[in-house]
Amino acid sequence: MSRNLLHVVLAGFVAVGLSGCFDLTQKVAVKRDGSGEYTAILAASGLMGDALKNGKSDMLKPNKAKTVTRIENGKVIQTSNVTFAKLSDIKLDDEQISLKVLSRDFFGFGPSHVRFRHVFHVDKARDAHGDETGSMGRDVMASIFGDHVYAFSVTLPGSIEHIRPVKIAGVEIKPQVTGDFYNGHTVVWRMPLSTALAADSITFEVDFSAIGDFNDVRTRDTRQAAL
């Protein structure tokens, strides 16, 4: 089975232990024609940083990603980027990204009302590593990862109509929204990395309205893609 982003992250953490703390960022951008970009950024120091510097990670496999590694303020930062003509071009394992058209105005000649959804199945990746990470409680996670951060952002055209609340362990993670109607909006959620890794799943959902060519589409599961 092909590995994906979170498998690589957890495997690296298990291998290097407390010397493997890192910050994780995911970015998705969708254009008016349904094309876009998916980007993963891992910033680490210590042994995990050395592993990144030595090219021992493959965050977005089996997708053909452009990966750039740089050193900034003592941290090794690896950025992997995949462009897509449609979301179904992307193969993921423990994540699913989708667009669903809710309605179209003026018989399809006006704006489309579309739901963007990203579901991160943290528990599946965590369970794949058994006792190494699955037995950790939230307090232990917090003590290990300290002030390290997980962030997810999505950039969408047109107007934002609704943002679904993200709640983990009873705590709501409030998003930050920037941008405008003409250039699109970016919605960003930031949370402690320990909070993200202790969750079962995290769903980021945004309803937006824009003129463009949108269809119901989702990323492909790597297990199905291999059949």
Tens digit of pLDDT for each residue in 142-181? 445 557 899 999 999 999 999 999 999 889 999 999 999 8
Q: Using the Cα atoms of residue 120, residue 122, residue 127 and residue 128 in order, give the sign of their dihedral.
A: positive
- pLDDT band of residue 74 (cuts 50, 70, 90) is confident
- Spatial neighbors of 147 by CB under 8 A, at least 6 apart, are 192
C-alpha–C-alpha distance, residues 37 and 85, integer Å: 9
Tokens of 52: 């990144």
pLDDT (average), residues 102-120: 90
Residue 69 has pLDDT above 80, yes or no: yes
Q: Please say whether the beta carbons of 40 and 26 come within 8 A.
A: yes
- Note the pLDDT tens digit of each residue in 7-24: 555 555 444 444 457 889
Side-chain half-sphere exposure of 169, counting CA atoms within 13 A: 12
pTM: 0.84
Strands 171-173 and 22-30: unpaired
Measured distance CA(13)–CA(82) in Å, rounded: 24
**Count of structural domains within the chain:** 1
Distance between CA atoms of residues 218 and 129, nearest Å? 27
Amino acid letter for position 16: V
Full residue range of the structural domain in which residue 193 is found: 5-225
Cis peptide before 111 (omega within 30 of 0): no
Measure the CA–CA gap between 195 and 175, rounded to whole angstroms. 15
